[in-house]
Amino acid sequence: MWRRIFSTSTSTSTSAPAAFTSKGKKWDALIIGGGHNGLTAAAYLARSGLSVAVLERRHLIGGAAVTEELVPGFKFSRCSYLQSLLRPSVIRELELGRHGLKLLKRNPSSFTPCLDGRYLLLGPDAELNHSEISKFSKQDAEAYPRYENQLQRFCSFMDYLLDSPTPEVSHKVLSFTDRMRDKLQKSIFWAHCFRRAIFLWQKDMVDFMDLLLSPASKVLNNWFETDVLKATLATDAVIGTMGTVHTPGSGYVLLHHVMGETDGDRGIWSYVEGGMGAVSSAISNAAREAGAHIVTNAEVAQLMINDDSGAVKGVVLADGTEVHSSVVLSNATPYRTFMELVPQSVLPEEFRCAISNLDYSSGTTKINIAVDRLPQFQCCNPSIQEAGPQHVGTIHIGSESMEEIDLSYRDALSGFPSQRPLIEMTIPSVLDKTISPPGKHVINLFVQYTPYRPSVGSWEDLAFRESFAQRCFSLIDEYAPGFSSSVIDYDMLTPVDLEREFGLTGGNIFHGAMGLDSLFLMRPVKGWSGYRTPVQGLYLCGSGAHPGGGVMGAPGRNAARVVIQDMKSLRH
């Protein structure tokens, strides 16, 4: 029987280095949380000449973008597991390639096995896509390139929004000169958006709005007739959410997951050599090179607020250490930041209420597995033991139709882990030879749906956890017989574990739902989308801020730009 890795403890804080907390030391900026967005913000702030310190609660940096060797010889991308959304501007400006980032493109990028012996491969090769889809529908094979082209046009429209702070209304009393400057900046923003809208023309703009507002099922039904094709594409609309393909607005989540790129190739997801921790490592290298100071095992317990001005004056660590700065950026979730770290007496009641009512529901469980051989899918040639195209990309298990996805969701809506879970399986060790022993492999399972609080049972119960893991392995066995017997060991992170280990409130991987009521000028809450907060000197720089979740780096980069702008204004 396998050994199940199950940690119920969190990293404890240790005393910070004396040089970091020396008496009278005041930093230009402190960053709570060493996730990729916090590290990105640190890099940009340090490059602008500011003294910056990053305070990370765990023993290693990276937040959800980490690599951990939980089984000897096997290195897991423990939470996030694929790269595409990291903004090209961040990769270019921080020179992440020079700092060790190496991306491994996947071709094909998607494989969906069917129990009837058929399968669907998709990827960046247009001829492969046409041939594969034609096995199910000639009409869909002709429509697919048009579908991809339309999404790419929408993604191009979104690029400027992702890389820009929102045009939020200022809450400060501005001088006449500053008001004029503020109006000019907002005018420039909207002018850029208007120009991009003109390039889309009216039909595309109407289609764009339809995609944003509609359920993914409606969008995909209007394009295609093949169940397995629609289900494969629909997984991008529900991944990481507690929603279904029929949820209005799920079309945007679909777009969010195809708007990235790898080395200039739009919509292509890649593995990262060394695991996702290599993303965080490259960003931290850039930050340290610029002069940023990064401290692990440094849990922030509370923000220090000036009693007279109500402005931030630093943080208190869990061990009682005080670290001083008049600027603090929080990479924690909005809930953790405002409901746990900020004294409630300093927050406006309307803001506090809005934060307390944010949607952090999650149906996500991540299972990281060490195996002694590759899974052999019945629909392919199971006698060949080497890696084939079916092993390279994301393998969709239990999603042969959108109805199957919806049934999985309905189980969780009733409080039960899905009877037939929706599983995205990836095997990064097929391309990345640095993360597993020869002949053995690392497998990631991104599983839905698992309620945070099951109606019956508890994620704290080892037998309950084991039962769900076995359910997932048994479902894979239906497509790849013998998979269960290949498992050496595994690590399972339920929504409760994701919250406890990584500070993801409710286990939500996006720091809050990505519905249309929680995006752009509404993220995290209406009136406070511009990274500034009601507490003077406190900023948000994590996925709970615009433009949202995923390993993007955009919130960190955008927040740093706002901080730098504010500090320049104070000097003048």
In the chain, the domains with their CATH numbers are 9-65+88-102+275-359+503-571 (3.50.50.60)
Sequence-ordered list of residues with C-beta below 8 angstroms from that of 374, at least 6 positions apart, any chain: 385, 386, 387, 391, 427, 430, 441
pLDDT of residue 384: 67
Task: Please give the distance of CA 178 from its chain centroid, rounded to a whole number.
Answer: 35
Pairing of strands 328-330, 538-540: parallel
Nearest to 36 by CA among 531, 565, 559: 559
The confidence score (pLDDT) of residue 16 equals: 52
What is the residue type of 301?
A
CA distance 257 to 109: 13
Which residues share a beta bridge with 371?
A: 441, 487
d(CA 406, CA 474): 20
Q: Which residues of 487-515 are buried (b: 16+ CB within 10 A; e: fewer)?
A: bebbbbbbbbbbbbbbbbbbbbbbbbbbb
b/e sequence 138-163, b meaning 16+ C-beta within 10 Å: eebbebbeebbebbebbbebbeebbb
CA-closest candidate to residue 394, choices 366, 435, 428, 419: 428
Q: Which residues contact 397 (CB under 8 A, 6 or more apart)?
A: 113, 422, 423, 424, 425, 475, 476, 479
Q: What is the mean pLDDT of each run of 10 residues along the chain (572 residues)?
A: 45 46 81 98 98 97 97 97 94 97 95 96 95 97 95 89 91 77 87 84 87 93 97 92 91 85 84 98 98 97 94 97 97 98 94 96 96 95 81 94 95 95 97 97 97 96 97 98 97 97 96 93 96 97 96 97 90 64
Q: Widest CA span of the chain, in angstroms? A: 76
* pTM tops 0.85, yes or no: yes
Q: What are the b/e assignments for 259-271, b being 16+ CB within 10 Å? A: bbbbeeebbbbbb
- Alpha-carbon Rg for the chain in angstroms: 23
Question: How confident is the model at residue 138, as a pLDDT?
Answer: 98
Within its chain, how far is the Cα of 313 from the centroid? 30
Paired strand residues for 120 = 112
Q: Would you call 74 helix, strand, or coil by DSSP? A: strand
Q: Would you tell me the crossing angle of helices 138-162 and 216-223 to the nearest 10 degrees?
A: 140
Give the span between the Cα atoms of 330 and 541, in whole angstroms.
Answer: 6
- Alpha-helical segments (H) within 163-276: 176-213, 216-223, 227-238, 250-256
Contact 324, 49 (CB under 8 A): no
Strands 110-113 and 119-122: antiparallel
DSSP output for 494-508: -HHHHHHHH--GGG-
Q: What is the pLDDT of residue 533?
A: 97
Sorted by sequence, the CB contacts under 8 Å of residue 559 that are 6+ apart come out as: 37, 41, 165, 329, 531, 539, 540, 541, 545
